[in-house]
Structure 1
Amino acid sequence: MPAHLPSLPGAAAVPVVVLASAVLHAVWNALTHGLRDKLAGFTLISLASAACGAVLVCFAPLPDPAAWPYIAASAALQVAYQLLLLRAYQLGDFGQMYPTARGISPVVVALVSTPLLGHSLPAVQALGIAVVACGLAGLALADGIPGRAQLPALAAALGTGVMIASYTLVDGSGVRVSGSVFGHIAWLFLCQGLVLPLVARARRGPALFTTLRPLYGRGLAGGMLSLLAYGLVVWAQSRGDLSTIAALRETSIVFGALIGAIVFRERLGHRRITASVAVLAGTAVLQLTSAS
């Protein structure tokens, strides 16, 4: 589990852990997008989160009382994130919605965390974040500027990105006062995992359980990957700089572009390749500056 990870020195472990989380994040999003009934898929992911959290809270130390407002706020933001991402996937293509949703997050985190949390942002690090953001924008717009019919999907994707940035900032602050990374993650999983199944039950009624049955395998697999990916990031946030972690985390878009080309047969093209190289170059800059 993330709370027991560091066999590597902290500074060296953080970028490795965040990049591993990025791969897992792209995989679980692809699994979910590939389901015809996306509401059922997201419901199973939330049920996996709640079940895992219910087990973990039995063994994890209670977070410090100062952390509970952060846990509650993060849970609410993550529910909003799931609903917006679900809507984006219902309306748009994986190759456009995923990079758009992920791409806005590091820019928002960098702009907000520096004045709000008092974090310094060296010039070289700012350059790395800017390069990553430009590469992500290139991935999102590789197929051209969206038309009017795509605007609702794009709005949902952009809203998803804002929610990602918001809970990243909340978790980055909360986990540092919780006194227990393991306990923070456990209670967060439990609290946010209970809401979406209730929303789905209200929308579908008793028929929801019939639609869940054939999707158990892929849905629960996606849920476990989602939990592991997010747990790794929360562990990293307890030890690293939020702006750097947010940007490194968004390299999941590169892996998502590859999955889109290989699994969903979406065109990769020279624009996506160039944008991916820009993301990797910015990531390299961030790794070097965070390690120095």
Structure 2
Amino acid sequence: MTLGVFLAVLAAAFLHALWNALIKLGTSKAGGMVILSIAEVPIGLSVALFRPFPEAEVWWWLIASGCTHFCYKSFLVFAYERGDLSRVYPIARGAAPMVVAVVGALTLPDAISMQEYLGVVVLGLGILLMARGVFTRGEDRRLLPFALGSACATATYTLIDGLGARVSGDAVAYVAWVFVVDGTIFTTGMLLWKGLDVIPRQRKAWGVATVASAASYGAYAVSVWAMTVAPLAVVAALRETSILFAVLIGWLAFGEKMGVDKAVAAVVIVAGVVMTRL
């Protein structure tokens, strides 16, 4: 991996942490996520319309992915309403590859190495350390089931999209349509659930959430490009530095409390994720 690609992947990791931070920053987390989802539709269409239209069998995967993304975003919103970015993000981001590795080992033909199993153990330890801080520091314990729910949804759509992209035969077109379907389902679902009042009226909220959507797309686009010019496993592992970026943003930008226990837990989670990726 060249220095340029290395820095690009680090930038992508930062952008992923940034869009989560921007959603956390808004007074209405649900409203911010709705605006982000609205912006996903034209972003996805701008790519999808220049690719072959998916076959009928692919749409079942796309719809399943969109529904799972709805759960992912909803759980993430509920978690951010109750906890710090530096607490929620590492749990939600770190638990997902652990679930994927465990479920994948049981249901998929792909071989799981001993290092990956050790990575799952390290991941579990890091998540337990991070979750322990919720109890010892008197934080809202309800953030834990929502953060873990977000992780389970992430693991689910990761498996769905991995198989769906194989069925599609065109990963770029598939992901572009995921953006369209995901944005449409989440926006429609939230409007039916909470009504029009969920959409923020403030111009600033629209600006912040739109920037978050652009950061989300940028993080994905850079990562996909990097995987075409560098080893996929190395890129995937390096992306997980987003956990450290989220912890730093929460501490430095939001003034969230940063104890030794939280810092150590974040480092352990990153180490576990890297072990499952390499």
Same fold (TM over 0.5): yes
Question: Closer, same or farther in 2 for the Cα pair 1:91/1:260, shift >3 Å?
Answer: same
Give the letter for the 1:49 counterpart: E
The 5-angstrom pairing of residues 269-284 of structure 1 reads 269-282=259-272
Q: Aligned residue for 2:77?
A: 86
Give the alignment partner of residue 208 of structure 2, picking from 218, 221, 245.
Answer: 218
Give the alignment partner of residue 68 of structure 1, picking from 37, 59, 68.
Answer: 59
Give the alignment partner of residue 39 of structure 1, picking from 16, 24, 30.
Answer: 30
State which drifts further: 72-81 or 267-276. Answer: 267-276
Deviation at 1:79, TM superposition (A): 0.9
Q: Aligned residue for 1:153?
A: 143
Q: Aligned residue for 1:162?
A: 152
Deviation at 1:195, TM superposition (A): 2.2
Deviation at 1:107, TM superposition (A): 1.3
Pairing 1:266–2:259 present: no
Q: Aligned residue for 1:179?
A: 169
Distance in 2 (CA, whole Å) between partners of 1:143 and 1:206 is 34
The 5-angstrom pairing of residues 109-258 of structure 1 reads 109-145=100-136, 150-202=140-192, 205-207=195-197, 211-231=201-221, 240=232, 245=236, 250-258=240-248
Distance in 1 (CA, whole Å) between partners of 2:169 and 2:197 is 42
Q: Deviations over 1:200-244 (max 9, x none)?
A: 434554555562533121110001112233455677899957xx9
Give the letter for the 1:262 counterpart: L
TM-score under structure 1 length normalisation: 0.79
TM-score under structure 2 length normalisation: 0.83
Deviation at 1:85, TM superposition (A): 1.1
Percent identity for Structure 1 against Structure 2? 33
Preserved contact between residue 33 and residue 89 of structure 1 (Cα < 8 Å):
yes
Distance in 2 (CA, whole Å) between partners of 1:190 and 1:196 is 10
Give the alignment partner of residue 96 of structure 2, picking from 83, 105, 120.
Answer: 105
Distance in 1 (CA, whole Å) between partners of 2:196 and 2:147 is 30
Distance in 2 (CA, whole Å) between partners of 1:79 and 1:237 is 27
Distance in 2 (CA, whole Å) between partners of 1:137 and 1:255 is 20
State which drifts further: 157-166 or 274-283. Answer: 274-283
Preserved contact between residue 86 and residue 248 of structure 2 (Cα < 8 Å):
no
Preserved contact between residue 26 and residue 255 of structure 1 (Cα < 8 Å):
yes
Distance in 2 (CA, whole Å) between partners of 1:248 and 1:117 is 25
Distance in 1 (CA, whole Å) between partners of 2:8 and 2:55 is 25
Q: Which runs of 5+ in 2 are unaligned?
A: none
Aligned length: 273
Secondary structure in 2 matching 1:32: helix
Deviation at 1:99, TM superposition (A): 2.2
Note the aligned Cα RMSD (angstroms): 3.2
Preserved contact between residue 251 and residue 258 of structure 2 (Cα < 8 Å):
yes
Deviation at 1:105, TM superposition (A): 1.0
Distance in 1 (CA, whole Å) between partners of 2:217 and 2:275 is 28
Deviation at 1:197, TM superposition (A): 2.3
Q: Which runs of 5+ in 1 are unaligned?
A: 1-7
Give the letter for the 2:61 counterpart: Y
Secondary structure in 2 matching 1:160: helix
